[in-house]
Amino acid sequence: MELINKERLWETVHALAAITIEGKPWTRRSFTAKYNEGREWLKNQMQDIGLEVEVDAAANVIGRLIGTEPNLPSIVIGSHTDTVPDGGRFDGIAGVLAGLEIVQSLKEQNIQLKHTIEIVDFTAEEPSEYGLSTVGSRAWSGNLTTEMLSYTNADGQSLAEAISFAGGNPKEINKCLKEKDEIALYLELHIEQGPVLINKNANLGVVTGIVGIQRFKIFVDGLPNHAGTTPMDMRNDALTAASEMTLAIERIAGKKYEQPVVGTVGVFNNFPNASNVVPGKVEFQVEIRSISEEVIDQVASQFLSEANSIASRRNVGLKTEKVSRSKAIIVRDEIKHLLENSCRTVTDKVIELPSGAGHDANQMSLLAPVGMIFIPCKDGRSHCPEEWAEKEDLYLGTKALLSAVLEFSK
């Protein structure tokens, strides 16, 4: 009996992906009008197939298929529908709509499970303009603090105000907090966002663990001055100091450690940003990722020490601020085995691999066992307009996810 409707799944993915900012393909940033429009579309889809729909205080969109024993902890299938700027059509969307297809198929075949299944579009999984990622799943795990709600974007709007705009209620964020016995299992299907599956000719990947992520904001204060009249040996140039710090994180993260690690500067702002002014202030963000918490701490400690040395030598001020920390997770053996067996019911081209990207599963691991299935993306590319997944791989991944749900629910 064929449960997953391949064509319908494909069509829904592209229908939601098409809700995008004009002239910026596949861009649907969190806390924007287009983001809200996409989520209204999603809520309508959930309602049309008979799910109970809720938007919680963190603006998470939840669709529930109530089980025959509703007192049992829920099976949660989740991901996100926000994108990075100029993002792709599959990152996040595929996971949410795979879950939607699963519950629709179960309803059509009149298959009733003991567990309630919750399909969740978590709010702002991608790093937002407020300097924070995994906002919605943080609220569930208790990691969305009052301080974080006060973070502001470039226009001075707070994250709390943004959550309200998205339909949430930041004054009641604590009501989102889940107890550990409320969720039996968290599952997520996602594109790999890397080249491993493609290079190994695999259809599906069972995720063994997910990197931890440490993010810092770095503020470098120099002395703005005339670029033509200030001698090179008399400058307090914030930009050259910040540039040296940027190269420092590249060099430090490039060393050999007990586990692989990456360090990135992805946000960089220079003030006053004029061609004839010695830069007086720079703000940038540093991100460190590894499957090892110890390695993250080692790299962070080395970088902060060197940044202080650079600031002292160049006679500029330095302030560092911890933005967020997501813990690395290792997927439990029993969940890996469940997903491995489920994947092999649909294809023999299955491998195990870690995730170098963070996901809502990082936060959900604090509440329940988690498991992820990866599908390949063309050329290993993601977070760009060229991001692409094949219809067949999306179909196989969704079938495997459904198989895992059915097996677990026994």
| Residue type present at position 345 | T
pLDDT of residue 1: 59
pLDDT of residue 88: 95
What's the CA dihedral at 173, 179, 184, 188 to 10 degrees? 30
Output phi, psi for 371, to 5 deg.
Answer: -145, 145
- The DSSP secondary-structure symbol of 129 reads T
Interhelix angle 93-108/391-409, nearest 10 degrees: 60
pLDDT of residue 326: 87
- The DSSP secondary-structure symbol of 307 reads H
What is d(CA 335, CA 331) in angstroms, rounded to the nearest whole number? 7
pLDDT of residue 22: 85
DSSP 2-21: --S-HHHHHHHHHHHHT---
Contact by Cβ (8 Å): 76, 122: no
H or E, element range at 139: helix 135-141
Q: Give me the residues of the chain with pLDDT under 70, please.
A: 1
What is d(CA 199, CA 311) in angstroms, rounded to the nearest whole number? 43
| Residue type present at position 24 | K
- The DSSP secondary-structure symbol of 171 reads G
Residue of 157, 131, 167 whose CA lies nearest to 58: 167
Q: How many CB atoms lie within 10 A of CB 109?
A: 11
Burial degree of 33 (CB within 10 A; 0-12, 13-18, 19+): exposed
What are the distances in angstroms from CA 283 to CA 115, 218, 271? 48, 6, 8
Q: How many CB atoms lie within 10 A of CB 27?
A: 20
Q: How many helices (H) and strands (E) does the chain have?
A: 12, 15
What is d(CA 360, CA 362) in angstroms, rounded to the nearest whole number? 5
Structure token digits, residue 330: 């290792």
- The pTM (predicted TM-score) of the whole model is 0.87
List residues bridging with 325 in a β-sheet. Answer: 214
What are the distances in angstroms from CA 408 to CA 75, 101, 251, 371, 403? 9, 18, 45, 12, 8
What is d(CA 38, CA 17) in angstroms, rounded to the nearest whole number? 8
pLDDT of residue 189: 98
- The DSSP secondary-structure symbol of 115 reads S
pLDDT of residue 251: 98
What is d(CA 64, CA 73) in angstroms, rounded to the nearest whole number? 13
pLDDT of residue 267: 93
Contact by Cβ (8 Å): 183, 364: yes
What is d(CA 129, CA 136) in angstroms, rounded to the nearest whole number? 15
3-class SS at 333?
helix
What are the distances in angstroms from CA 50 to CA 14, 107, 329? 22, 9, 34
CA 286 to centroid of chain Cα atoms: 17
* Nearby residues of 301 by Cβ (< 8 Å), 6 or more positions away: none
- φ/ψ region of 81 (left if φ > 0, alpha if ψ in -120 to 50, else beta) reads alpha
What is d(CA 6, CA 313) in angstroms, rounded to the nearest whole number? 61
Structure token digits, residue 48: 């049309």
Domains of the chain by start residue, with CATH: 6-211+328-409 (3.40.630.10), 212-326 (3.30.70.360)
